[in-house]
Amino acid sequence: MNMNGMPKVGELIEVDATGIDDRGQGLATLEAGADERALLVPGLFPGERASVRIEALARHALRAHGRVHELLRASPSRREPPCSRHEQHQRAPGDRRPKPSCGGCPLMGLELDAQREAKRAWILREYGLELDGPDGIIGGIIGGAEFDYRWSSKRVVGGEPGRLRLGSRAAGKRRGDHIADMRGCLVDHPRIRDGFDALELLANELGIEPWGEAGGDLRYVWAKTNGTQLLLTLICGAESSRAARELGPRLHELGIADGVACSVQSSSGNAIRGGAPQAIAGLAQLDLDAGLELGPLGFLQPNPEVAALAYRDLVALPNGQPPPPAELAFDLYAGAGVTSRLLRERFERVIPCESYPESAARLGIEPQTVEDFARAWLDAASPTPALVVANPPRAGLGESVCASLRELAAPRVHLMSCSPQSLAADLDRLRPDYELVALRGYDTLPQTAHLELVAWLSRRPQSPA
C-alpha cells in the first residue's frame, strides 16, 4: 500500500465491478480513507469479482488501471468470446506480456442482452441520460445482428514488405504501435472481410512497403460495401505510391474490389482521411438505397440496418408518427443526405448543411460549417424552420451552435449523437429553451461500448417579454 492506503503498482487486490466505462472496460472503485479512485480493468464485467493486479496509477486523474489475475465470481452472462483473435484468447490470467491483440470488441465476452444493459447503466450513471422504457413511448436499446454487421471498416497497415499486415493498433502503452491481427474479423461484413484478406495477400506478393515514421507507402485501407459491391480506398503516405500504381489496378482486375481509389495522407498523427480521393479502377462510388451515392472518403454508418431505424426515428415524432406537414426543415451535418431525403417526404423545403466537400457536392450544395450556416440565416432574418434535425460528429454541437439554435427558436429539435458525453453537454446548453421529450439508444456496434442516441427536444413555452 502507498502512504495514503492506496495499492501500489504490481499489488494484487480483490475488487467488485460495478459497471463499464466508455471503452468497455470493467469499472471498480478503490477507496483509502477519504480518497477514491476509479479502477479500470479490461475484460471484467458488471457484477463480477476478481483478483486484479494494479498496473498503473494516473498522476493527474483519480484513476487506476489493472488486469484480471484471477476471476473469483463470473457474471452469469459471461461467455467464451467467439473471435479467436480476441484479447481474452491471447492472454492467460496473470500474463504480463500479452501478444498484440485486437481490442475492438471489449464486450464480446458478454451475451448481447447483458452488453446492452451495461451500456444503458453506463450512460445513466456517468451522464444522467435515461433511456425511455420499458413502458414509455420509446423502448430502450434497439439492435440488430451481433456479427457481420459492419459495412464500413478501416485497417492500419504494419509489418514490412513481404510481411505486410492489416490490423488495428494494439491498445495499452506497453504494446507501442504493434499491429494486432484482424484477419477473419467477425463483425465486418463478409464482403469486407474477404476483401481485406485478399488485399493483404496480394500486397505481400507485390512487396508493397508499409508506411512508417521514416517514410514508406501504404498507410491505411478503408473498405465500404453496399452489401454486394466493395469499394477499397488506399490511404498512401506520398504521391509516388507503388500501392496506388500497382496494387490498386490489380485489386480490380482480380475481382477483389468493384472499385479502388487512393488518397494521400502525408501528415503526422493518426488521421485517416487524406487529400481529395482519386479513382484508380472500377467504380468511383457506391450506390446505396434510394439513389444515394457514396464516394471513397464519404461517411457511411458502419451498421446501416440499425442506423436506418435511428434515421427513421430522427425525422419522426417520439411516438413514431410523422411530423405534421410544414414548410421548412433544416438538416444539419447532413452527410450522405439520408435524412434530407426522409424529411422531403413531409416538408415543402428542406435545407441541408454539410462541411465535407465530397458529401456537400453530392447534396448539390456548397460546403459550409453549421456555425457559418446558422449565423448567416439568423443575420438575414430568414423564416424559422418547423424542425431542426442535427447529427453532429463525436464532439457534438458545441457552445456556438447551441447558442444559434436557441436564437433560431425552432419548435422542435431532433438530435442524433454517437457520444453520450457530448450529447449531455449539448442538452445542458439547450435546456434554458428546450426540454428533453424522449431519448432512445441504438446498438449500432455490438461487442463495443458504443451506443447511438436519438433525442427529441421541444421548445419550452416562452414568457411574454
Residue recorded with cell 481474452: 88
Whether 78 shows a pLDDT value over 50: the answer reads yes
Residue spans of the domains in the chain: they are 1-76, 152-294, 303-459
- Known binding residue 80? Answer is no
Given this model, what pLDDT does residue 36 score?
Answer: 87
Instruction: Using alpha carbons, select from 34, 35, 31 the residue that is nearest to residue 15.
Output: 31
pLDDT digits (tens, 9 = 90+) for 106-116: 999 999 999 99
Whether 299 shows a pLDDT value over 90: the answer reads no
Given this model, what pLDDT does residue 176 score?
Answer: 40
Mean of the per-residue pLDDT values of the chain: 91
Whether 98 shows a pLDDT value over 60: the answer reads no
What CA–CA distance (Å, rounded) separates 172 from 187?
A: 22
Cβ of 8: how many Cβ atoms within 10 Å?
Answer: 9
Given this model, what pLDDT does residue 96 score?
Answer: 55
What CA–CA distance (Å, rounded) separates 352 from 349?
A: 10
Fold of 303-459: Rossmann fold (3.40.50)
CB 106 within 8 A of CB 448: yes
86: phi then psi, degrees, rounded to nearest 5? -65, 150
Task: Work out the burial of residue 397: count CB atoms within 10 Å of its CB; fewer than 13 is exposed, 13-18 middle, 19 or more buried.
Answer: buried
Say which of 105, 353, 402, 418 is annotated catalytic: 418
Q: Choose between 90 and 263: higher pLDDT.
A: 263
Fold of 152-294: OB fold (Dihydrolipoamide Acetyltransferase, E2P) (2.40.50)
Whether 292 shows a pLDDT value over 70: the answer reads yes
Residue 109: DSSP 8-state = T
Annotated catalytic residue 418: yes
Percent of the chain with pLDDT strictly greater than 70:
92
What CA–CA distance (Å, rounded) separates 38 from 125?
A: 13
Cis (ω within 30 of 0) for the bond into 134? yes
- Across 183-300, the runs of DSSP E, i.e. the strands, are 218-225, 230-236, 259-264, 278-282, 286-287, 293-294
Q: Predicted confidence band at 427 (pLDDT cuts at 50, 70, 90)? A: very high
In this chain, the answer to whether the domains covering 1-76 and 303-459 adopt an identical fold is: no
The dotted CATH code for 1-76 is 2.40.50.140
Whether 247 shows a pLDDT value over 50: the answer reads yes
Given this model, what pLDDT does residue 12 score?
Answer: 96
Whether 174 shows a pLDDT value over 60: the answer reads no
- Known binding residue 301? Answer is yes
- Known binding residue 333? Answer is yes
- Known binding residue 354? Answer is yes
pLDDT digits (tens, 9 = 90+) for 441-465: 999 999 999 999 999 999 999 876 5
Whether 261 shows a pLDDT value over 50: the answer reads yes
pLDDT digits (tens, 9 = 90+) for 314-362: 999 999 999 998 999 999 999 989 999 999 999 999 999 999 898 899 8
Given this model, what pLDDT does residue 301 score?
Answer: 87
What CA–CA distance (Å, rounded) separates 155 from 122?
A: 28
Least-confidence region, from 109-118, 128-137, 250-259, 383-392 = 128-137
